[in-house]
Amino acid sequence: MKISLQLLMLALVPFFSCGSDNVENNLEKWKSEIVKTEQEFAEMASKEGIPKAFLEFAAEDAVIKRGNRLIIGKEALRQSYTSGDSGTGKVSLTWQPDFVDVAASGDLGYTYGKYIYTSTDSSGISQIDSGVFHTVWKRQPDGKWKFVWD
């Protein structure tokens, strides 16, 4: 009996010792997925416009804080872009994550970093706003990452 228990324990060692490596590999994989998604998001904002990018990468239940107000849900976000001041100026938004982390479950993650928002009016006068962004990402049923907080 004592020998059987020792053999069983010895046989289980590889399963427990590999577990932490698999968790680390998954965490790094998920972090890479989030960073890649963040980069695709920023690239789309630059090339195709801020509204299109934010609508593409927002989850249905996304919440965005702008000033002192919350825009709750993708439909409200869509309406905020269609009812906003279209003006004749030009805007750009650039950002890059400085940090990414993901839950061990692989379903939530977050990034933060610096952003630069530039608006140029019709007379060519530019205003630059810079700061720190924080985005919470949630894995969707199809496996893609969408933001739920920005």
- Over residues 97-140, the pLDDT tens digits come to 999 999 999 999 999 999 999 999 888 899 999 999 999 999 99
Q: What is the pLDDT of residue 8?
A: 46
Q: What is the pLDDT of residue 83?
A: 78
SS3 of 11, please?
Answer: helix
CB 149 within 8 A of CB 135: yes
Q: What is the pLDDT of residue 23?
A: 73
Give residue limits of the domains in the chain: 2-149
- Which H or E run includes 13? helix 2-48
- pTM of this prediction? 0.81
pLDDT tens-digit profile of 3-19? 554 544 545 545 444 45
Q: CA-based angle 48:107:136, to the nearest 5?
A: 50
Name the CATH topology of 2-149.
Answer: Nuclear Transport Factor 2; Chain: A, (3.10.450)
Mean predicted lDDT score pLDDT of the chain: 87
